[in-house]
Structure 1
Amino acid sequence: MVGDFDVLENDVRDLVAALEWQLFMGADETIADSPVDRYAATEERRRQRQTASPVQQQSAPPPSAPQNTAPPRPAMQAAHAPLGTAEAEAQGRSAAADCKSLDDLRAALEAFDGCDLKKTATQLVFGDGNPEADIMVIGEAPGGDEDRQGKPFVGVSGQLLDKMLSHIGLDRERFYITNTVYWRPPGNRKPNDGEFAVCRPFVDKHIELVNPKLLLLVGDKSVRGLAGAATGITRSRGRWYDVTVAGKTIPALATFHPAYLLRTPSAKRQAWQDMLTFQRRMREAGL
């Protein structure tokens, strides 16, 4: 009995380790109505090969037969070759420059294939709130809930952010919110520098079209990317930066991402200080 229990316990550990690995790789959602047994499918293909008729088996070339080593046609290579970061960024700048409205910008992003995140995400996560508001909030990247609903900050961390902002008199009728990238990174990781660079022209155009008077930058990637902060969020939070877009300089306050606050409740006191700092600036600007 003891031996059987040890085997069962080891099996459970292996299963848990496999699930943790899948989560780490970003496979944290099912996309079919029922699971697919890949092992059974492989076994079925092996069985079919073993039971193939002699004629079918003889039709296959012997191992020593020369194989076709001709390279694929250039046209096919070009069709599937991914864009480099510089090329994708240039295409993004060109597409964003032609946008005259938020609807144009959304359509340009829907048609843009230069960001690899689009390949693994469910849908575009564009923006939410009042596009005519004087306050714009910019986070890091969509998460799982955002990916499913197509709106930024709608999950648990978004609910916390809404609650924080409500205490200084802000709701989504009084601010507009988006992210530094428009598709969910696998496994809810932070976007890397290349992904941010590709999306940056669209983010700049997003800010230009909303034309806010104040920015709230939420999370390390938002602060480093848009404000050029040289230090991490724990040192940059609570500080004001200047973000210049289309010749206009906009004051921007750095603060913690609500996902960090959920993991580190002790930082909520500092985040509340940031909210009060932002509220004072709002009052000074007559907002």
Structure 2
Amino acid sequence: MESVDFHTARALLEWQIELGADECISDTPVDRYKLPESIAKPKKPDAKPHLTKGPVKAQERDPEAEAEIAAKAATTLDELRAAMGAFDLCDLKRGARNLVFSDGIAGAPVMIVGEAPSKEEDRAGKPFVGAAGQLLDKMFAAIEMGRSNERAPVYITSALPWRPPHNREPKPEELAMMRPFLLRHIELADPKVVVIMGNSACQSLLAKRGITRLRGQWAKVGGRPALPMCHPAYLMRNPAAKREAWADLLDLRQAVVK
């Protein structure tokens, strides 16, 4: 290769700078993520793999399968509540104040399944409290039923036992994870009729959404008649829908007294 004189070399350098090549690099690449030899510890060739003893990582566990096993092991409602409280694979549990299990009278002919707990329900540890709960009580009192009515009681629970943060809508995977507990809850409570209130409850028990389309159409849950209805919170936002809710309540009362 011919030698380049000073003036030619400078002209070439200035031309490269004009092109944007303003940084000098070496001919060999530098791994800047590699630790210095003084810090990096070489792995011993004869080292045996280290086996740690302890619980299996959460990402390696099947939440739905474990929920199924835990739910089936419960033979009473108290045991089911304890099993749900011990279940540690649902992240909602970490941000909730209380487990919202049930209210009303166990063994009632009507079991109401609501959506996820609200802020008020999370604080009280009971489903359907606050304004929505007051409207629910008025709705069922109109057909001579209620959570404290010993002659015509109702039993109430939620699709999820823990409140989602900021009252957001439950995720499908959260509903699927807790579904085995909900189905076992219905089985142990043994109602004559299940009332499914709201989209989240319908998604959990019927794998369907669209409560305004599903309401009033009887279905089956665990071999029992199930009636989808609009949630009281929805009725408060849409008063015109109360007319259809009243028709659903009359249909429900007729089914219970048969």
Give the alignment's Cα RMSD to 1 decimal: 2.4
1:227 Cα deviation from its structure 2 partner:
2.4
Unmatched 5+ stretches in structure 2:
1-34, 42-49
Q: Which residue of 2 aligns with 1:236?
A: 214
In the alignment, is the contact (CA less than 8 A) between 1:83 and 1:114 conserved in 2?
no
Matching residue within 117, 130, 136 for 1:155: 130
Q: Which residue of 2 aligns with 1:108?
A: 83
Whether 2:114 is the aligned partner of 1:139: answer: yes
1:204-231: per-residue Cα shift (whole Å, max 9, x none)?
A: 11011001110111001212321233x5
The residue correspondences of 1:197-276 to structure 2 (distance < 5 A) are: 197-229=176-208, 232-244=210-222, 249-276=223-250
In the alignment, is the contact (CA less than 8 A) between 2:192 and 2:256 conserved in 1?
no
Q: TM-score, normalised by structure 1?
A: 0.68
Q: Supply the distance in 2 between the matched residues of 1:269 and 1:122 (Cα, whole angstroms).
A: 36
Q: Supply the distance in 2 between the matched residues of 1:261 and 1:74 (Cα, whole angstroms).
A: 57
1:81 Cα deviation from its structure 2 partner:
4.8
Residues 1:74 and 1:180: Cα distance change in structure 2 (over 3 Å): farther
Q: Which amino acid in the other structure matches residue 238 of structure 1?
A: G
Larger Rg: 2
Whether 2:255 is the aligned partner of 1:281: answer: yes
Q: 2:156 is paired with a residue of what secondary structure?
A: strand
Q: Which amino acid in the other structure matches residue 192 of structure 1?
A: K
Unmatched 5+ stretches in structure 1:
1-64
Q: Supply the distance in 2 between the matched residues of 1:262 and 1:144 (Cα, whole angstroms).
A: 17
Whether 2:165 is the aligned partner of 1:186: answer: yes
1:116 Cα deviation from its structure 2 partner:
1.1
1:69 Cα deviation from its structure 2 partner:
8.4
1:141 Cα deviation from its structure 2 partner:
0.8
Q: Which amino acid in the other structure matches residue 253 of structure 1?
A: L
1:58-113: per-residue Cα shift (whole Å, max 9, x none)?
A: xxxxxxx969789xx9859x8795446x7011111111111010110111111110
Identity of aligned residues (%): 45
- Number of equivalent positions: 212
Whether 2:126 is the aligned partner of 1:175: answer: no
Would you tell me which structure has more helix in proportion to its own residues?
1
Residues 1:111 and 1:276: Cα distance change in structure 2 (over 3 Å): same
Runs of 4+, deviation exceeding 3 Å: 65-70, 73-76, 78-84
Matching residue within 75, 78, 95 for 2:70: 95
